[in-house]
A and B are shown apart, each in its own frame.
Chain A
């Protein structure tokens, strides 16, 4: 199990890096899919089967398909040409920002102490436990999220339809 975790972690990190370093947006999107699968595998190792399945269905199965759709419709065949002189200031700022973010993350992760979560009710699986806490403890946030999504849908329809008139 440990070996599996390290393999999946390595795949996730390498593919995550490749997402950033690819010049072609389509290749970045494809490496991101690989990354999602590796992360789903890590969820599986943590016995979070429901989260793993949802990760693949929502991210790999829906969101990335939409991304690919957009990239292909815009038909970005050739990557943009490299600027001959890289902007030193921009690169420097990027490196400093990334370094600081990394330091804060490493500090935060090593210092954090996670309190033990609520124990799973006996006789209930992963999906049942999530459903139970979603519809009892977190009912209000759950409903608010659905209202938020409804607002987004209405907004999208208004934006799309207003151009037709």
Chain B
């Protein structure tokens, strides 16, 4: 194994993916404000740059120059760590999400040296392909809850603590439905590797075989992101802003980045698992991947603009009494059908 080459190519891939991702996060905020504006018959931000296109820059500058306030009773270390954990946990899943097929030939000749690029998925359009890709996503995804719960606790504020506890209960409940809804996909693909799952969807995307799984996945992902029908964690009329109440400046900005990165990650994961990932005719794979992902991001925003908020008991009842049994039924039916056909 050519270690320097592996590190160099990996760092390059990470740099590209992170740059694109951070830009996407910034512009998803603008997209949300614009789309919500149109849904509510307003213009949305339209002062900075043409059509408001430079608004993310203005937002970031404003956040950076705001006073960075730490409440006196707060636990200093955990108060700083919480936004970092939230943002980090939202960015980590992109390590195994394939955004294209092979981007390089398996072997290149470089000044007479033959370099094998098949090691460590160097020629693949993914930062790192691993045989536990999906489990990795769920492992790092489950860490996001620490950001909220620690932020809520460290702020030393009742609203923050209640918001953190709410998010914690919500995420733990919906993680079950989320995890079980993708098992049908794993059974169809016969692998946990995200690259293999995309390759298994060459002829038909899995949404055709797993419509119920896709619906459950999207609802649970919306709850995991704490988005509007499920945004009880920052329910303004009850909890001020939930665990974010005491945060200001770039620390709050990190929470926001985490939230939007989480939405993009959920959309990218749904694209990978159900919509065939980067596969599609004519257009280059990256374009297909981005188009599918942003269609789902738009769906997230659309839902936020048009649905009212649940009550907390409704949220818990939906998670445990509807989504969980339905996802179990989905697994059972998928297993039975696979057995009948392949049997």
Binding site for B on A (CB under 8 A): 26, 30, 33, 49-50, 52-54, 56-57, 60-62, 65-66, 68-69, 72-73, 125-127
Contact = CB atoms under 8 A, between A and B. Distances in A.
Contacts of B152: 72
A26 B153 CA distance: 10
The secondary-structure label for the interface of chain B is helix
A57 B142 contact: yes
Given A50-B135, A68-B153, 5 more contacts: A53-B132, A53-B136, A53-B138, A65-B145, A72-B164
B142 A62 contact: yes
A69 B142 contact: no
Nearest to B137: A53
B168 A69 contact: yes
Chain A CB within 10 Å, residue with most, of B135, B169, B172: B135
8 contacts: A49-B132, A53-B135, A54-B135, A56-B140, A66-B172, A69-B149, A69-B169, A127-B131
B172 A126 contact: no
B135 A60 contact: no
B7 interface: no
A62 B172 contact: yes
Contacts of A30: 78, 150
B313 to A, nearest CB: 14
Contacts of B172: 62, 65-66
Nearest to A49: B132
A68 B135 contact: no
B221 interface: no
Contacts of B131: 49, 125-127
Interface string B149-163: 110110000000100
A72 B139 contact: no
Contacts of A127: 131-132, 135, 192
A56 B146 CA distance: 13
Contacts of A49: 130-132
Nearest to A52: B132
A106 to B, nearest CB: 32
A25 to B, nearest CB: 12
B223 interface: no
A52 to B, nearest CB: 8
A61 B224 CA distance: 13
B132 A68 contact: no
